[in-house]
Amino acid sequence: MKKKYLVVGGGGFIGGHLIKKLIIQGHSVIAADIKPLELWFQKFDQSKNYSLDMQEMENCLNMTKNIDYVFNLACNMGGIGFIENNKAECMLSVLINTNLLRACKINKIQRYFYSSSACAYNTNLQQNYDISGLKEEDAYPAMPEDGYGWEKLFSERMCKHFTQDYGLETRVARFHNIYGPIGTFDGGREKAPAALCRKVVEAKISGKHQIDVWGDGNQTRSFLYIDDCVDAIIRLFESNFSDPINIGSEEKVSINELISIIENISNIKVRRNFQLDKPKGVNGRSSDNTLIRKILQWEYKYSLQKGMEKTYHWIENIYKEKKNDEYIRFTKSSLIA
């Protein structure tokens, strides 16, 4: 049955890919994002698009009128460099979730999705490079990433209590490093897969074949390709499961191993200039997918190699299409994959 969705953060990376999927499924979509429309990663004629600050209660009330379902993918965030240097800004994103939940209660929204993060997990459990995958219960006792992680964990609790106290159906996903084409790859907010692809592309073009690496490159992570993420979001949203759940990959690699994958894709070898004074985050973090496998029968389809090939070539093609010293990054999005 056709439903009416509001996607907050619709101009962002995950939001754009999710909107595309919802439109293909035949739903009506309204998108809101604080960025000016010309800076949205994807825009579709089939959706109604608004540039609004969804920290404001009035905007939340107006945008949730006559809506069936709400996806909240909005927050002030970026890679490790951004979240470690902008903790107050990251925590202010709590206003988006707070006011959206209040508006959903008033306007009787049927179901609400909140995008949390693996940064909500206890950092004391993430000191070893060879960490086992983090299970959902590992978020407590609480000691999340300072700033960004605390906002995520607090907002998860708000969702839980709005369900318990007011009957608002909520779904909460803890994302583990989502990556892929049509997202941020420079400017300070990019995450490791896109940042490293960009650095290797630039090293290849310049002929210098050297890149800067934050930390010693031994820190480990797991990375999930965007198409798998969107599939998991929709499965979770349509399920009856209301507790936080991991959406991530169990394919853990070090940053050095990730660079080696990109080297093989780019057909060059790079010298690595390790910058030990730069933020690197926790030593190890990976997803344990036992719960999502049991509850949703979900498995990711893209290997890291396959996903990085798509991501690297998308970024490389942007550089190849450089015109008049301006990068032609995003064109009008098509519903054809």
Name the amino acid, one letter, at 300: Y
CB atoms under 10 Å from CB of 267, counted, come to 7
How far, in Å, CA of 61 to CA of 102, rounded? 8
How far, in Å, CA of 336 to CA of 321, rounded? 21
Quick check: helix, strand or coil at residue 87? helix
Quick check: helix, strand or coil at residue 179? strand
State the catalytic residues.
Answer: 148
DSSP annotation string for 109-152? -SEEEEEEEGGGS-GGG--STTPPPBPGGGG-S---STTHHHHH
- Cis ω before 141 (30° cut-off from 0): yes
Contact 280, 214 (CB under 8 A): yes
How far, in Å, CA of 104 to CA of 111, rounded? 9
Name every residue whose Cβ is closer than 8 Å to that of residue 121 and which is 6 or more positions away in sequence.
134, 138, 139, 144, 149, 174, 285
Going by C-alpha positions, the residue among 100, 107, 97, 86 that lies closest to residue 156 is 97
* Residue 273 token pair: 């200039």
CA 208 to chain centre: 32
Q: How many residues would you count in the chain?
A: 337
How far, in Å, CA of 41 to CA of 228, rounded? 19
Name the amino acid, one letter, at 174: R
Name every residue whose Cβ is closer than 8 Å to that of residue 253 and which is 6 or more positions away in sequence.
220, 221, 222, 223, 261, 304
